[in-house]
Structure 1
Amino acid sequence: MKRRALGAMALAGAMALAGCGSAGSGSASGSRENTLVVWDWKSGDEAAAAYIEEARADFAARHPEVTVRFVAQPFDQYYTLLGTAMRTGEGPDVMLFNGGGQLRERADDLLPLDDHVAQDLRRLAGWEAFSRDGTVYAAPVTLQGHPVYYNKALYEEAGLDPENPATTWEDFLADCRTIAEETQATCFAQGNKEGYGIHFFLSALGPAVLPPQEYDAWLAGDRDWTSPHVRRIFELWQEIDRAGLNNAGVNSTALFNDSLSLFASGDAAHIIGLVSDVGHWEDFGEFLGEENVGVLPAPLVTDGAAPGLPLDGGIGYAVAKETRNPDLAADLVRSLTSTDALAAFHADAGAIVADTTVDVSGGGPALATLMRGIETGKPALHVALPARTLDLMGRLSQQLLSGSVGIEDALRQLADADRAG
C-alpha cells in the first residue's frame, strides 16, 4: 500500500471530513450542455488526487466532449454554501454528501438514483446511509465507522497486556487508572469544540450500552430518549470528563484536528476515531507505528448489549434534481465509484472504500481487525438522527460538560427536536 508522507503538523492540520480549496459556484440549471460541475471537499486534497484523476479518466473515455469541473469547498461551510446555492438555482450538477441526516434533509432536491446507477453498482456497500424512505439519492464512495483506537505502546509502558484489552467498562476504567499512574497519558483524547465529539461518543459506546432490540428501534426511528440506557450514555459522557479521564479543556479542543494530534503524539491512550478519511488506522500508524495501533471493541457497559463496530456509508456523490443532464451526471457518479478510482482512493488515502471487490489486505493489524468488524457492524446511532438534532446535541454536550444543563433537560430537548425531525 502506498503510504502518505505526512509530518506531525500535517495530521494536526487535517480534518477528517474536510478538504482544501476555495469556495466557488457552479450552476446545475445554468451549466452548459458540455460541462458538469462537481462540489465536494475532497478534490483539493492531495491524498485524493489519484482517485479524482482515475474517475476523470474513466468518464472521459466515454464522454470526451464533456468538461468536468471540480470545485473543492471548505467543509466547515460546505452545507451552508450548498443549501444557499441550491435555493438560488446556482448549485452544482453533482455533489458530495456525508451519509445520514445531511443528505436526507436535502433529498427533495436530489435525483433518485435507483433507476440510474444503483442497480449497476451492486458491488458497493453502504447504500442505506444515502437513502430515504427506501429511495437511493447518492452512491457510496467510502464506508465509515467509529472504532475506539488504543496505543499498544502505552499499554506496555503501563504494564498492561496490549493484546488483551479490557472487555468490560469496569476493567477498562481500572486500566485507565493504571495508565494514568504509570505514564503521563490521559485515558481519552477528546475534542468537542465543534460539538462532534458527542456524535462519535454516542456511536462508539452506544453498542455497549443499548440492548440489541433498543439499538435496532433507534435506527428504525423509534427512539426512546427517556430510556435508562440512553440516559446512561450521556451519564458516561459527563463521568469520563469529571473523572479526569479526558484531556483538559474538551470544549475548547477541536476534534479535528487537536484531539487527533493528542493521540498520535502519545499523550492519550485511546481515541474514538474513524475507519476512513483522517483520524483512522493509517494516519495513526504513520505516527505510532502500525504495530502499536490497536482497535478496542467498546467495553461492555450493560448486560445484554452486543458491542460491535458502528458502520455506515461514509461519503457519497449525489445528482441535483435540476441538472440539465441527469443521465450524464449519473454516469459521472458511476466513474466516481468505479473500482479503479476507489482502489486508488484506498491506496493513497487509506480509505475503506464502499467497493467490496477492492483488495484492502496488507494494511496492518488494525485494518485487519476493522475488516472483521465490518462484516458484522450495524449502522451508527448518530447517523440515524436528523441534522438539526445532531446540531442541538453538539451544543447540549458542551453544556453537559460545563454543568450549565442537566441530563434530564438535555434529553427532553433532544426528544422534542427528534420528534420535530
Structure 2
Amino acid sequence: MSTRLKRICALALVGAIALFAVACGGSNDDNGGGGGGSSGSSTAGTPDPADVSGKIVVWDVFYRSFPSYTRAVPELDAAFKKKYPNVTVEHVAQPFAEYQALQQAAFTGREGPDVMMMPNAGGIRQFQKGLEELNDRITPEMQEQLTGWDAVTPGYRTEGPHYGVPIAQTDFMFYFNKRLFRRAGLPTDFEPRTWEDLRDAGLKLKAAGIQPFTGGNKEGYESQWWWHMAWPTYNTQEQAVALADGELPFTDPAVAQTFEPEMMMQRAGLFERDRFTTPFFNDGWMRFADGKAAMILGGSTNTAYWGDFNRALGEENVGMFLPPGSKYISMNPEWSWSIPKFAENKDAAWAYIDFMASREGLEMLFEMTGELPNRKDAELPADAPSQARQIRDWYRDGPTFLATDVLTPSQVTQTMNTEAKEWLQGRKSKEEMLESIQATSEQVNR
C-alpha cells in the first residue's frame, strides 16, 4: 500500500516507485549508506519550541504528485510552524522516477535534506547505514501509540533500532459496485471465502452482461498487486521475509502458487481485452469510478480508493472485501520520515517528524487526504465514511504485516511486472517467468 497507489502506486503503491538498475542499490556499501557525523541533542519526546530554531529541508516524493496531499502540505507545514515559530521549512518536491537515484547521490555525497521521506521498507533497508537511529528520541508513548514500526526496523520487527517514524497506514483491497452486484443477483455484502468464489461471482456478472473486473496492467503494477494480495492466502509472514531476503526462491512451489489467482481470473475471461494496453493511472481505475465494471483492485488511501469511488458512485454503492482466506492482512505505513546522518539541523528535523506523527498531525492528514491515521489514539471524524471505518477496523483487529511486495526489493518487483505480463499473455511459460524473477532476486541479494 501508496497506494499512492498510492504510490502512484501508490498504494504504493510502493514496490513500483523506482525502476533502477541494481547498481543504484548499495545497501551493504558504505557509499550507498554512509553518513557524516551527528550533530544536535537526542532528547526523547516532543522538543521545547524555545530550544528549536533554524532551517530544515524536507524531501517529499508525494508532494506535487498527488493533488489532495499537495494541497495538504502547506497547511501541515503551517501548523508545524505555528508550534515551532523559530523553524523555517523548505519543502522540496522530488520526482518519483528519479527519487532512488537522488537518495543514492545524497548518501554518497553526504549532503542533502534534514528530513527524508522513505516511501517503503525497502528504502530503509537500502540506506540504513546513512540514517540516524531514532530510538533515543522516541518515547515509550510514541512506540506504543504508533503502528508500522516493522517497516523501519531491521528484520521487520516492532522492537529494535528504528531508522524512521511510520506515517499513516495503507495497502490494497478489492472494491465492488453494489448496484451492479444487485443487478446480477449477487449479495451486496459479498465476502468470498475462496478464489473460486471470486471467479464464480465474476462469471455470474459476465452472464448478466456486466464487465466483472476493470483496471489497467500496461505498467505491470496490477500483476504485482494481485501477487501480493494472494500471498497471505497461501503463505506466512515468515515466508514473506525469507523471500525478501533471498532465502526462499521465487521458483519454490509456495511462491509459484501465489501467481495463480490472477491467472484464474484471466482464464475465466473476467478482465478487459485492452487490459495490457491500458495504464492503471489514471485511465484504468477511472473506469470503475465511471461505473463501467463491477470490481477493481484498488488502494485504501489517496488515489484509486474509497474516497474517489464514493464521490463518483455514492458511498452506499461502494463495497469492499479482502483476499479470501488470508492468514493475515497486508498493511504498511504510507511512508516514513527519516533523518540522514548528514542532516545539519537534527533537533528541528525531529521536531518536524514528531509533529507529523502526533495525533494532531495525523488527524489533519486524514481530514485533508483520507490517509488513515496509524496512531491508536487518533480518532476519525464523526462523519467519516463507512469504508474508512471498515478499513480502520480491519487494520486494528489484524493480524497485520507488511505487504510482500513492499518487503521485496524494487528491482525484483520491476522484473516481476515485466515478466508476469509476458506469462499472462502466453509469450512465456510460468517457469520462465519465475526463473527470470529469481535471477534478479539473486543479483540483488548477492
TM-score range, shorter chain: 0.7 to 0.9
Contact 1:192 1:254 (8 Å CA) reproduced: yes
Indicate the SS of the match to 2:360: helix
Q: Which residue of 1 aligns with 2:50?
A: none
CA 101–198 in structure 1, closer or farther in 2 if over 3 Å, else same: farther
The alpha carbon displacement at 1:346 in A equals 0.6
Contact 2:116 2:337 (8 Å CA) reproduced: yes
Indicate the SS of the match to 2:299: coil
Q: Deviations over 1:322-346 (max 9, x none)?
A: 1122222122211222221211111
Q: Which residue of 2 aligns with 1:144?
A: 170
Q: Which residue of 1 aligns with 2:31?
A: none
Indicate the SS of the match to 2:118: strand
What amino acid sits opposite 1:131 in the alignment?
Answer: T
2:246 matched to 1:226? no
CA 117–221 in structure 1, closer or farther in 2 if over 3 Å, else same: farther
Instruction: Give runs of aligned pairs for residues 8-23 of structure 1, distance below 5 A.
Output: 16=10
What amino acid sits opposite 2:197 in the alignment?
Answer: D
* In 1, Cα distance between equivalents of 2:86 and 2:237: 52
Contact 1:118 1:139 (8 Å CA) reproduced: no
Q: Deviations over 1:199-225 (max 9, x none)?
A: 211222222233677557557864243
Q: Which runs of 5+ in 1 are unaligned?
A: 1-10, 19-27, 301-305
Q: Which residue of 1 aligns with 2:149?
A: 127
Contact 2:362 2:373 (8 Å CA) reproduced: yes
Contact 1:125 1:140 (8 Å CA) reproduced: yes
Which of 284, 290, 315 does residue 335 from structure 2 map onto?
315
The alpha carbon displacement at 1:143 in A equals 0.6
Which of 115, 129, 132 does residue 111 from structure 1 map onto?
132
Q: Which residue of 2 aligns with 1:236?
A: 261
Instruction: Give runs of aligned pairs for residues 172-211 of structure 1, distance below 5 A.
Output: 172-185=198-211, 187-210=212-235
**Number of residue pairs matched by the alignment:** 391
What amino acid sits opposite 2:127 in the alignment?
Answer: R
Contact 2:179 2:317 (8 Å CA) reproduced: yes
What amino acid sits opposite 2:125 in the alignment?
Answer: R
CA 224–372 in structure 1, closer or farther in 2 if over 3 Å, else same: farther
What amino acid sits opposite 1:331 in the alignment?
Answer: A
Indicate the SS of the match to 1:268: coil
Q: Which residue of 2 aligns with 1:252?
A: 277
CA 354–212 in structure 1, closer or farther in 2 if over 3 Å, else same: closer
Q: Which residue of 1 aligns with 2:370?
A: 350
Root-mean-square deviation (Å) = 2.8
- Of 39-48 and 264-273, deviating more is 39-48
CA 405–109 in structure 1, closer or farther in 2 if over 3 Å, else same: farther
Which of 250, 263, 288 does residue 288 from structure 2 map onto?
263
Contact 2:173 2:320 (8 Å CA) reproduced: yes
CA 138–206 in structure 1, closer or farther in 2 if over 3 Å, else same: same
Indicate the SS of the match to 2:170: strand
Contact 2:54 2:348 (8 Å CA) reproduced: no
CA 135–400 in structure 1, closer or farther in 2 if over 3 Å, else same: farther
Contact 2:55 2:345 (8 Å CA) reproduced: no
TM-score (structure 1 length as normaliser): 0.83
TM-score (structure 2 length as normaliser): 0.79
Indicate the SS of the match to 1:189: coil
Indicate the SS of the match to 2:276: helix
Contact 2:332 2:402 (8 Å CA) reproduced: yes
The alpha carbon displacement at 1:271 in A equals 1.6
* In 2, Cα distance between equivalents of 1:355 and 1:142: 8
CA 59–394 in structure 1, closer or farther in 2 if over 3 Å, else same: same
Query: Structure 1 vs Structure 2: percent identity of aligned residues?
Result: 27
CA 138–281 in structure 1, closer or farther in 2 if over 3 Å, else same: same
Q: Which runs of 5+ in 2 are unaligned?
A: 14-34, 37-52
* In 1, Cα distance between equivalents of 2:136 and 2:219: 38
* In 1, Cα distance between equivalents of 2:238 and 2:9: 34
The alpha carbon displacement at 1:38 in A equals 0.7
Indicate the SS of the match to 1:144: coil
2:94 matched to 1:69? no
The alpha carbon displacement at 1:176 in A equals 0.4
Contact 2:60 2:93 (8 Å CA) reproduced: yes
Contact 2:230 2:258 (8 Å CA) reproduced: yes
Q: Which residue of 2 aligns with 1:329?
A: 349
* In 2, Cα distance between equivalents of 1:364 and 1:158: 26
Q: Deviations over 1:241-291 (max 9, x none)?
A: 343211233332222222211221122222222212212222211111111
* In 1, Cα distance between equivalents of 2:340 and 2:74: 22
What amino acid sits opposite 1:194 in the alignment?
Answer: E
Indicate the SS of the match to 2:294: strand
Contact 1:298 1:308 (8 Å CA) reproduced: no
* In 1, Cα distance between equivalents of 2:377 and 2:384: 16
